[in-house]
Amino acid sequence: MYDFRNKVALVTGGSRGIGRAVSLALGKGGATVVVNYAGNEAAALETCSMIEAAGGRAEARRFDVADSAACQAAIDAIVSAHGGLHVLVNNAGIAIDGLLMRLKDADLERQLDVNLKAAFFLCRAVARPMMKQRGGSIVNLTSVVGEMGNGGQTAYAATKAGLIGFTKSLARELASRGVRANLVSPGFIDTDMTRDLPEDVRARMLEAIPLGRLGTADEVADAVAWLASDRSGYVTGELIRVNGGMYM
């Protein structure tokens, strides 16, 4: 467990899966966690209850991460209410699979909006308050697919690869003010989405993973929490892979 006492954190897509695990990890360390969600209020409130049951503090906040004005308003409101924002975890994301020749413009745009542009909007909004307080940690969630590619996921891979270049450039821009920006790149993780896959698909996935199993949301959250904490204070512009050796 890392020490996040007196820290305020925003986790996008924090109502379930990896986002929930990250929110819990930060909350257990003492952070006040703002759990962003798009539409499932019940799941977001459940995450908040879990954090509070573990001794942390939490609040749910609904806003569309693909809306620039909504992102700015949310950051302004959080900073005003809590006196600062110390950790930003850009976890929200979507995948709309399909071969490139069949990819609809709307599906491309939606993935760009949620997976890539949202990180631009939120990092831009949080840069000024973090620089003013001369400290902060931004952790962006990319994907093994963004590093190695995957058939049927050209748009998704492009957005996740874009996050890597964006984060490394951001790290250089903010470093002089003590603000760090890093990435975590999960592989195949045991979440609601992977649990619904057919058994033959899961079997092929496992064959590609040297450790021979899917990862857990908690294992991804541990990497995020370390990067968010002061324990990684000399780390910026880096990418941590949590993929069981699938891509090295």
Q: Three-state SS for 224?
A: helix
CA distance 116 to 65: 10
Q: How many domains does the chain have?
A: 1
Instruction: Flag whether 52 is in a domain.
Output: yes
pLDDT tens-digit readout, 197-235: 788 888 988 999 999 999 999 999 999 999 999 999 999
Instruction: Flag whether 19 is in a domain.
Output: yes
Give the DSSP letter string of 142-195.
Answer: --HHHHH--TT-HHHHHHHHHHHHHHHHHHHHHGGGTEEEEEEEE-SB-SHHHH
Instruction: Flag whether 1 is in a domain.
Output: no
Catalytic residue chosen out of the listed positions 2, 37, 156, 247: 156
2 is a catalytic site residue:
no
CB distance 192 to 16 below 8 Å? yes
Per-residue pLDDT of the chain (248 residues; tens, 9 = 90+): 799 999 999 999 999 999 999 999 999 999 999 999 999 999 999 999 999 999 899 999 999 999 999 999 999 999 999 999 999 999 999 999 999 999 999 999 999 999 999 999 999 999 999 999 999 999 999 999 999 999 999 999 999 999 999 999 999 999 999 999 999 999 999 987 777 778 888 898 899 999 999 999 999 999 999 999 999 999 999 999 999 999 99
Q: Which residue matches tokens 């003010």?
A: 177
Give the chain's largest Cα–Cα span: 52
Instruction: Flag whether 17 is in a domain.
Output: yes
N-term to C-term CA, the chain:
27
CB distance 243 to 215 below 8 Å? yes
Please report, for the domain that includes residue 94, its CATH number: 3.40.50.720
Instruction: Flag whether 247 is in a domain.
Output: no
CA distance 68 to 39: 18
CB distance 121 to 71 below 8 Å? yes
Instruction: Flag whether 90 is in a domain.
Output: yes
| Sequence-distant (≥ 6) Cβ neighbours of residue 247 within 8 angstroms | 144, 147, 148, 187, 241
Residue 105, phi then psi, degrees to nearest 5: -55, -40
Residue 21: name the closest of 173, 186, 144, 163 by CA: 186
Residue 72: name the closest of 112, 33, 129, 27 by CA: 129
Instruction: Flag whether 122 is in a domain.
Output: yes
pLDDT at 196: 75
pLDDT at 1: 79
Query: Which residues constitute the domain of residue 175?
Result: 8-242
CA distance 242 to 25: 16
Sheet holding 57-62, edge to edge: 57-62, 32-37, 8-11, 87-90, 136-141, 179-186, 239-242
Instruction: Flag whether 123 is in a domain.
Output: yes
CB distance 211 to 245 below 8 Å? yes
CA distance 183 to 167: 7
Q: What is the pTM of this model?
A: 0.97
